Amino acid sequence: MQTDWDLVIIGAGCSGLSLALNLTKTQGASPKTLLIEQRKTFENDRTWCFWGADDAPYADLINKEWGRVSLCLGGLALDLDCKQAPYKCLTSSIFYDHAITSIKEQKSFELKLDSTLLEEPILKEGLWHLKTSFGHISSKSIVDTRPLATTELNKTKLWQSFLGLEVECEQSVFDPTCALIMDFLQPNTKLIGFNYVLPMSGKKALIEYTVFSAKPMSRLELTNSANHAALKYTKGASFEILRSEYGLIPMGIGSSLKAKQHGKQHMSYVHVGLTGGAARPSTGYSFQRIQTWAARCADSIKFAGIPIPNSKDNFVIKKMDHIFLTVLGTYPLLGPELFMKLFARVPTPKLIRFLTDKGTLLDYAAVVGALPKLLFLKVCFKLIFQ
């Protein structure tokens, strides 16, 4: 039977482009791949940060890294050395430019911008049929990276909502050697709020207001606090807002939803990305997990001809994250103190390994040992008997 494409990737964002980049690197013939993307152009719309050593993905594209990070709660400040796995930053526009240039160099790849699906794909006689804004096409397999709507994510345990402002000051006010990853606001019973400051230089920084809460928060709801944060960290210097970035990350989306995969129950169709299970439930960090998936998925397409979904977390991580999110959701007032305890009591290399899915059993034990036993036991009993 005549097929237009071996693989269609719906959505050319982080997951779609990362998979395409890995496929361009495979030895021999790459699958004939089409990327369908609704955007007309790629903007600098997000800043990806992650802990990574020199072998971290896209090491040559990283535009800034910090060997020190800090956290603050009230008068208490923690300053942590993370030189063994610095906190790295990759600006999305650098990644998009690199990915699009690499894809354009490949004859077997095509990226269609300003394009979308008009109907959900249908499987007929072993081929996927897609009705798109540029006509009918068929494909042997599909990787769907479209995010699910927040209304479909109603089992999400906590939402991470954030608004970042990239500011440039007239004079130098930031310490470019240290990233402030959590500067907690007054603890309260409704949400956990903190500011996040990534100083790119003495004059330039991304200043972000972040909230963990039961309901997602809109850009508008975060605007006042983000503006306050910009005023606070620029310390009276006059500044210009260069751009903003808004994000909404579901933390702990529930396994039934991940299995749903947009209703397509066939191994040649996978739903992946942020709402397909890519995000680490307890932190929302997804970038590195997407890179791990993209490399594995490219290998699977190359050797077995089928894409694979995001990997499942191991049993221990799944349970630990579930309990931690339940504690944060039930006792937001205690959230800032719990984070401070974790970072203060667990040696930084252990904590980084735990947060980046590389933890050993001893690292898990160190994390458990740092948290208040009675509170966590209470929540465990509640989870068992509810």
Q: Which is nearer to ligand FAD, 16 or 199 (CB)?
A: 16
Task: Answer whether 19's CB lies under 8 Å from 111's CB.
Answer: no
Strands (E), 301-341: none
Which run of H or E residues covers position 229? Answer: helix 219-234
The CB-of-181 to ligand FAD minimum distance in angstroms stands at: 10
Segment near ligand FAD (CB under 6 A), from 31-39, 250-258, 312-320, 351-359?
31-39
If binding is defined by CB under 6 A, does position 140 make contact with ligand FAD?
A: no
Indicate the angle between helix axes 373-385 and 315-330, nearest 10 degrees: 100
Residue 199 contacts ligand FAD per CB under 6 A: no
Give min distance, CB of 95 to ligand FAD, in A. Answer: 9
CB nearer to ligand FAD: pick between 251 and 340? 251
Least gap, CB of 145 to ligand FAD (angstroms): 4
Give CA angle at 326 (346, 276), nearest 5°.
Answer: 95
| Candidate list 5, 7, 9, 15; residue touching ligand FAD; CB under 6 A | 15
Q: According to the binding rule CB under 6 A, does residue 174 interact with ligand FAD?
A: no
What residues contact residue 142 under an 8 Å CB cut-off, 6+ apart?
Answer: 7, 8, 9, 10, 121, 128, 130, 264, 268, 269, 270, 307
The interface region with ligand FAD, picked from 36-44, 254-262, 309-317, 321-329 by CB under 6 A, is 36-44
Indicate which single residue of 10, 34, 85, 328 sits in contact with ligand FAD (rule: CB under 6 A).
10
Residues 306, 312, 316, CA angle at the centre, nearest 5°? 160
What beta strand segments (E) does 1-156 contain?
A: 5-10, 33-36, 47-51, 64-66, 68-73, 76-81, 87-91, 109-112, 122-124, 127-132, 135-144
Q: Which residue from 121, 247, 252, 359 is in contact with ligand FAD, where contact means CB under 6 A? A: 247
- 257-286 residues near ligand FAD, rule: CB under 6 A: 273-274, 278, 285-286
Q: Is-contact 290 15, C-beta < 8 A?
A: yes
Residue 100 CA: distances (Å) to CA of 6, 94, 147, 274: 20, 10, 21, 21
What is the smallest separation between the CB atom of 215 and ligand FAD, expressed in angstroms? 17
- List binders of ligand FAD among 358-377 (CB under 6 A): none
To the nearest whole angstrom, how small is the minimum distance from the Cβ of residue 102 to ligand FAD?
17
Q: What is the CA radius of gyration of the chain?
A: 22
- Strand pairing category for 109-112 and 239-251: unpaired
- Taking each helix axis from N to C end, the angle separating 361-370 and 315-330, rounded to the nearest 10 degrees, works out to 20
Q: Which is nearer to ligand FAD, 36 or 127 (CB)?
A: 36
Spatial separation of the C-alpha atoms in residues 13 and 257, rounded to whole Å: 21
CA angle 173, 226, 209 (to 5 degrees): 90
* Smallest distance from ligand FAD to CB 116, Å: 4
Residue 207 in contact with residue 227, Cβ under 8 Å?
Answer: no
Interface pick for ligand FAD out of 49, 127, 137, 294 (rule CB under 6 A): 49
Which member of 6, 34, 46, 183 binds ligand FAD (CB under 6 A)?
46
Choosing from 38, 102, 244, 292, the residue that interacts with ligand FAD (CB under 6 A) is: 38
Residue span binding ligand FAD (CB under 6 A) among the ranges 143-151, 221-229, 344-352, 360-368: 143-151
Q: How far is CA 210 from CA 10, 38, 168, 247, 249, in A?
A: 29, 27, 20, 9, 11
* From 32, 39, 228, 302, residue interacting with ligand FAD (rule: CB under 6 A): 39
Listed ranges 11-19, 219-227, 319-327, 343-351: which one lies at the site for ligand FAD (CB under 6 A):
11-19
Q: Select from 7-15, 51-59, 136-144, 331-339 the region that touches ligand FAD (CB under 6 A).
A: 7-15
Asked if 145 interacts with ligand FAD (CB under 6 A), we say yes
The residues that touch ligand FAD, with contacts defined as CB under 6 A, are 10-16, 36-39, 46, 48-50, 116-117, 145-147, 245, 247, 249, 273-274, 278, 285-287, 290
